Each structure stands twice: as structure tokens, then as C-alpha cells.
């Protein structure tokens, strides 16, 4: 990310199965206005900026964000499949969208949280308010779909390349039921999530690799070869693999 200050904080242990992190980013930190590209990660985020709280739904491709000089965003990132149980809305209704939190959370949850966020003197304090609020919501809600959570763990495994049929058979459900539950919990089907997770593995491998050989990084991430990596990067991010080298590794 060019000209971005980004920090993550881990949440309390009791929340870590549902929430990846709270975080803060200052875009255009040096006063330069530009477009920032955000790569899909399968997650849903709560975003607080300019006095307003929004919900960023799961993305199917990269999103361009206008980086206004010295604009700060504070967020809480739900792990893939976890947000619908807490927010009370299917992930598919948030697909590729940024919506005002008032449209989802309602008046019972939002006013006190917004007051606290607007009064926060630092990004870390605002992040702590988000964490505290979501911690309470988690205690009040039923747990997320355990079958989808298990499927996601299978797809996250190194070298994962599961057909929907094989994954459904392993989980003991039909392909139709697996897709339906994925669309509700994640926003889209297991094959797209698998592609996004593989892309994230490439970004992580590129960040820590001693060598920048794209062919080697492609194989390490689970791609068939370098051309496969290139096609997937183009389709999911509109960028080349080389342009993604050095992209920050974020919690998901």
C-alpha cells in the first residue's frame, strides 16, 4: 500500500474465533491523494471514519478506495463466515457493498456505539470501543454455522484444491446445501473463497520469501504454475503478480 500507515491489534481470546483483529489505517499519510486498491479477503469489516460507521461486505474482486490526505479509518474485521450470525443479515446481502451500519444494526445497537466512537481521542481507543461492542453482540447471538467454519478450515489448508463435490462429501451434505450455506455465511460459494484464500497465500509467501521467483511463489501458494497465478491475480485484483509483491499481509 502506498502512503498508508496501517496497524492491527489482536482482540480478546474469547473473540478470536469470530474476529480476526481490530485495526486502524491512515490513508494519504503524507498528504498525497491517490487511489488505494484493497484486495479481497473473504471477510466483512465494520469501518469507522469521518464520524460514521459503515459495513464493508465481502468483496469478489479488488476495490478502489479514494485515499483522502490524513483520513483515518478504524475497523473491526470478522473472519470469513462469522459476521452474519452477529449482524443478523446474510453475507450475500452485503456482497460487494459498503452500507451504512444503521441499515443493518438498527437503533438498539448503534447510538451508544457511535457516541463512543465519535468521542474517542485516538484510533486505538476507537478500535477498543468496536471490540467491546462486538464482544457483547457475540455473547447475545447464536454461533456461526459450524459446518461452514469447518469447510473454510479445509480450504485454508496448504495445497487445498477441493472440488465442491469432494468438500460436500467430506462434510456429509449435498453440494446444493453446501453452496447455500456458504452463500448465506460467506457471501459466495466455496470455489471463489478457495481462489481468494490462495491469492492471500501468495501475498503472504511473497512477503516473507527470500527469493522473489514468481514461479516458486506460485507453487508455494498452490497454483498450478506461474501463468495460473497471473490469470488469477488479473481476475481478482486487476494487478499483475509483480505489482502485488510487497502488498501487506493482513489478518483474515
Q: What is the pLDDT averaged over residues 212-229?
A: 91
Cα gap 195→59, rounded to integer Å? 12
- How remote is the C-alpha of 170 from its chain's centroid? 26
Residue 68 pLDDT > 90: no
pLDDT category of residue 71 using cuts at 50, 70 and 90: confident
pLDDT tens-place string over residues 28-44: 656 555 567 889 999 99
pLDDT tens-place string over residues 150-208: 999 999 876 666 789 999 999 999 999 999 999 999 999 999 999 999 999 999 988 88
Cα gap 215→113, rounded to integer Å? 47
Q: Give start-end residues of each CATH 1.10.10.60 domain in the chain.
A: 146-244
Q: What is the pLDDT averaged over residues 80-107?
A: 95
pLDDT category of residue 64 using cuts at 50, 70 and 90: confident
What does each C-alpha distance from 32 to 129, 229, 243, 248 come to in angstroms? 29, 31, 20, 19
Q: What is the pLDDT of residue 31?
A: 59
- The continuous run of DSSP H or E covering 147 comes out as helix 146-156
Q: What is the pLDDT averaged over residues 213-237?
A: 93
In words, the CATH class of domain 146-244 is mainly alpha
Residue 52 pLDDT > 50: yes
**Percent of the chain topping pLDDT 70:** 92
Which H, E and C letters describe 40-94, residue by residue?
CCCCEEEEEECCEEEEECCCCCCEEEEECCCEEEEEEEECCCCHHHHHCCCHHHH
pLDDT category of residue 126 using cuts at 50, 70 and 90: very high
pLDDT category of residue 107 using cuts at 50, 70 and 90: confident
What is the SS3 assignment for 196?
Answer: helix
Residue 73 pLDDT > 60: yes
* Total length of the chain: 252
Residue 218 pLDDT > 60: yes
Q: What is the pLDDT of residue 1?
A: 46
Cα gap 30→3, rounded to integer Å? 7
Q: What is the pLDDT of residue 210?
A: 67
Q: What is the pLDDT of residue 167?
A: 94
Cα gap 89→129, rounded to integer Å? 22
pLDDT category of residue 229 using cuts at 50, 70 and 90: very high
Amino acid at each position: 500500500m502506498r502512503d498508508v500507515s496501517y496497524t492491527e491489534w489482536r482482540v480478546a481470546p474469547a473473540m478470536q474465533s469470530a474476529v480476526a483483529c481490530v485495526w486502524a489505517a491512515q490513508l494519504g499519510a503524507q498528504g498525497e491523494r491517490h487511489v488505494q486498491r484493497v484486495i479481497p479477503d473473504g471477510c466483512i469489516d465494520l469501518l469507522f471514519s469521518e464520524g460514521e460507521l459503515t459495513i464493508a461486505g465481502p468483496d469478489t474482486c479488488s476495490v478502489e478506495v479514494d485515499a483522502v490526505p490524513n483520513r483515518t479509518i478504524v475497523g473491526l474485521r470478522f473472519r470469513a463466515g462469522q459476521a452474519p450470525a452477529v449482524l443478523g443479515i446474510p453475507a450475500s446481502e452485503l456482497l460487494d457493498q459498503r452500507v451504512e451500519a444503521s441499515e443493518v444494526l438498527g437503533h438498539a445497537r448503534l447510538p451508544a456505539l457511535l457516541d463512543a466512537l465519535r468521542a474517542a481521542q485516538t484510533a486505538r481507543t476507537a478500535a477498543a470501543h468496536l471490540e467491546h461492542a462486538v464482544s457483547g453482540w457475540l455473547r447475545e447471538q447464536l454461533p456461526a454455522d459450524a459446518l461452514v467454519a469447518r469447510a473454510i478450515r479445509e480450504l485454508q489448508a496448504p495445497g487445498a484444491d477441493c472440488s465442491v463435490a469432494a468438500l460436500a462429501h467430506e462434510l456429509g451434505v449435498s453440494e446444493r446445501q453446501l453452496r447455500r450455506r456458504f452463500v448465506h455465511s460467506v457471501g459466495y460459494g466455496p470455489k471463489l473463497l478457495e481462489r481468494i484464500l490462495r491469492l492471500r497465500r501468495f501475498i503472504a509467501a511473497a512477503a516473507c520469501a527470500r527469493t522473489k521467483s514468481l514461479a516458486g511463489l506460485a507453487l508455494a501458494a498452490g497454483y498450478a504454475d506461474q501463468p495460473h497465478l497471473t490469470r488469477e491475480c488479473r481476475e481478482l485484483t486487476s494487478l499483475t503478480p509483480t505489482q502485488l509483491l510487497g502488498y501487506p499481509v493482513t489478518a483474515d
